[in-house]
Structure 1
Amino acid sequence: MVAALALTRTEMAGAHGGRVVALFDPNALIDAIARSGDRDAFAKLFDHFAPRLKGLLLRSGAPPELAEEVAQETMLTVWRKASLFDPAKASAATWIASIARNRRIDIARRDTRLRLSQVYEILDEDEPERPDDLLYGAERDALVRSAVSELSVDQLRVVELAFLQGCSHQEVASRLSIPLGTVKSRLRLAMAHLRGRLEDLR
């Protein structure tokens, strides 16, 4: 991802007398945003990096809506946290790629938790109503969210594919490009954790 995002000089520079004069300096643009909230600088940074982020996410298998969301939220984070960028520690492309990676993980975790909560709602649809349903439902939802939040990203992903999308263990392994044994191990750990934490719901 970083390599693709870093294609700046060859695309945005002109050669003069054997010298390469850079016309696009992401470090300077981020600095301008941090110092004065320079909207023109942000527009240039957005126009350069947002399409690249979206394209990379699409090529990595992300749905178009997710790719668009991650790209936009990444650039908004750049706007809000420009003052935290340190060119001595990482290049602009590396920093922005790191933000994008973290946003994708956060969104995947959020969406997976939502779908898992919906599964419990579906399972409860046929139960008879009780006077304390509202209280019970609130307590149940809080317990489910808490239990799911404790799963690792890897465990969440295999649970989603196996139980919410109906994939076989072999299909999960193929989709995630991991060994079948790893799929079974992650599922076993995830379900053991959920069973233990949700014992009170039975």
Structure 2
Amino acid sequence: MAAFEALFMEFSPRIRAYLLKLTRNNQAAEDLMQETMLAIWRKAGQFDPDRGKASAWIFTIARNIWIDAWRKQKRPAFDPDDPALVPAAEPEAGDMLELKQSGAALHAALKTLPEEQVELIRLSFFEEDSHSTIAARTGLPIGTVKSRIRLAFGRLRTALEEIK
């Protein structure tokens, strides 16, 4: 306790002056100096004289505490009106009806395709497998997978145009 008191008497004015130069605010420098001295008290067991002087260690702690305080101060305030935090608007009834009709038309068009092509489309677009993964799963060459998917799209396009 006596050693810390001596350390406090020796370093607190110097730390306060250093922090005053950084903050340009008397109260902030005083608060950060107190916080620095508490950190030194808590971390005293971590000091290694082989790694450098005690004063360098102490002023490093003071600088890090100042940086932390500065970062907290620079953090933007929470804005509840931020567009990223506003939920998406509910779609209108007409849009929902159109989406439902489009989905039904797609399902009807998929029923016109051979099962093999439906499976390739399901793997590619609903399970999001790559063409090489689909080729490995089905045992088909990758070129065949690509051409069958392209053929399925052509047939889907034709079927959807007929449904409309």
| TM-score under structure 1 length normalisation | 0.39
Q: Which has the larger radius of gyration?
A: 2
Provide TM-score, normalisation by structure 2. Answer: 0.47
